[in-house]
Amino acid sequence: MPRIYTSQSEPLDFCLDCFPLEAAAALIYGNLGDGPDGRGNCFAYDAAHPNYEDDPGFYVCEICGEVLTSRDE
């Protein structure tokens, strides 16, 4: 947690405070079109993500822009 892949297979990371509920995330990010290479809807909720501490400052929350840390894993 907390990563979502949109239906187009784009990764989005969130801090714990901004991570949407699954139903809301599916409505917002699950209907953006098919993923690459004709794979269909690639929406994924609470998906695996890189260790945020490995690249400090590289990963930020999609909503508030907060830098993600081990607290958000």
**Which residue reads 């509920």 in tokens?**
21
Looking at the DSSP assignment, which residues form a beta bridge with residue 3?
13
Q: What is the pTM of this model?
A: 0.85
Q: Are 42 and 9 in contact (CB under 8 A)?
A: yes
pLDDT range class, residue 65, cuts 50, 70, 90: very high
Rounded average pLDDT over 8-33: 92
Residue 11 pLDDT greater than 90, yes or no: yes
Q: Name the token pair of 10.
A: 């784009």
Q: Name the token pair of 6.
A: 């949109």
Residue 1 pLDDT greater than 70, yes or no: no
Q: Are 47 and 3 in contact (CB under 8 A)?
A: yes
